[in-house]
Amino acid sequence: MPSQTIQDLVTELQGLPTDLFQKDFLLTWEHPEEQIRAILTLAETFKRLHQEGTSYRAFDTGLAISIFRDNSTRTRFSFASAASAMGLSLSDLDEQKSQIAHGETVRETANMISFLTEVIGIRDDMFLGAGNTYMREVGAALTDGTKQGVLHRRPSLINLQCDVDHPTQSLADLAWLKKHFGGLENLRGKKIAMTWAYSPSYGKPLSVPQGIIGLMTRFGMDVSLAYPEGYGLIPDVVEVAKKNAAEAGGTFEVVNSMEAAFANADIVYPKSWAPYEVMGRRTELLTKGDKDGLKALEKECLANNAKFTSWECDRKKMDLTRAGKALYMHCLPADITDVSCKAGEVSAEVFEQYRIPTYHEAAYKPFVISALMFLERIADPAAKLAEIVSRGRKLHI
């Protein structure tokens, strides 16, 4: 399949219905397939424009607010890059330096940071049952502030990772798969193994594997979710994946063997996460501020993880994949055996072989976030994109 030109991509976006204007993007499965296709098309267009040194600035003024309640490198800088490319100024809400530390309510904070704000990106993935709920609470406060005339325009929200989904990651992953395999239609029938992998740490969120099974099942892929007994995901999300696979003509299975998932796989995504049950217990302890309880839980969970050190993506398992040449993927940073830890998710040899491809995978995230900002804030995105391409304003590089 020949590579699409920028004009081809503009024409493609014109043929796709978009319905994100003045809305939020919190879970990929809340939005129709056409909307996902539009996001990917726009992200690819922005990536091409940037690559050839052309500005895709869309705003003259406005703020992009980021709220990170957990540590981040790729997503934090991708959000900042996207805001800058769009022409928005970035402001990061540090809750410890704000009046939140003095008891300011979510309703009040949401309005006070939003007077000239276009988009708010939130990462809140530490508390099971709380992160996505918090985002919706912020959204409700913004809706009320706009209705009451406090805000001239309601800012849009972008989920930068919560306890349920990591949409900017899974969309970037899908954009990379689309590029790697030459189109979304070529993903139909491809097998992707989303597997748990050993890590010498505990408490990693469930949102990456949930995001993958919730999105890839929508495009006719054969999705194999693998984890040791007891390391399951949120049951409701697993049901979403089953439903998506049935509707899209693909398959979805849950197995308790990494080898079974890797067998004849076209793509492998070995990634550690904490068991659903553990994340629930951890949330209760965090909420209570029970430090001793957290230490005891960590000790228990690390001991349990240690039973599954063989769950590593190594050459032997990669040889089980289709022709031994499956594409390795990871959201990064990966726990690399004998590099970042003594034993981890992936062998040094395998990771080094696929290191650059994982960087290409990560490189889609700022353009995916740019696309979300654009679609959420531009009333006629196809017309605006055509204007930007026609303008052809070069970057000062």
Give the fold, CATH level 3, of 6-165+365-391.
Rossmann fold (3.40.50)
pLDDT along the chain (397 residues), means of 10: 84 94 98 97 98 96 95 95 98 78 83 97 93 97 98 98 98 98 97 97 93 98 97 97 98 98 98 93 90 93 95 98 98 97 97 98 98 98 96 85
Geometric angle at alpha carbon 45, from 44 and 48, rounded to 5°: 85
Closest CA relative to residue 193, chosen from 265, 138, 279: 265
| Contact yes or no for 271/209 (Cβ under 8 A) | yes
| Contact yes or no for 160/349 (Cβ under 8 A) | no
CA distance 311 to 309: 5
* Structure-token pair, residue 30: 């809340």
| Contact yes or no for 171/366 (Cβ under 8 A) | no
Give the fold, CATH level 3, of 169-362.
Rossmann fold (3.40.50)
| Contact yes or no for 301/330 (Cβ under 8 A) | no
Close Cβ partners of 48 (under 8 Å, ≥ 6 residues apart): 6, 9
> 271 phi and psi, to 5 degrees?
-150, 130
For the residues of 41-66, what is the DSSP string, one character each?
HHHHHHHHHHHTTB-----SS-EEEE
CA distance 355 to 209: 20
Residue 77 to residues 46, 90, 94, 116, 369, Cα–Cα distance (Å): 17, 11, 16, 22, 11
Q: Where are the domains of the chain?
A: 6-165+365-391, 169-362
**Which pLDDT belongs to residue 102?**
60
CA distance 316 to 314: 6
Paired with 89 in beta bridges are 63
Rounded CA Rg of the chain: 21
Rounded to a whole number, what is the largest CA-CA distance in the chain?
A: 62
Two domains, one topology: 6-165+365-391 and 169-362? yes
Paired with 158 in beta bridges are 25, 121
**Which pLDDT belongs to residue 98?**
67
Alpha helices, H only, 249-347? 258-262, 276-288, 291-305, 315-318
Closest CA relative to residue 310, chosen from 226, 241, 252, 186: 226
3-state percent helix, strand, coil for the chain, nearest multiple of 5: 50, 15, 35
Q: Which pTM was predicted?
A: 0.96
CA distance 46 to 370: 8
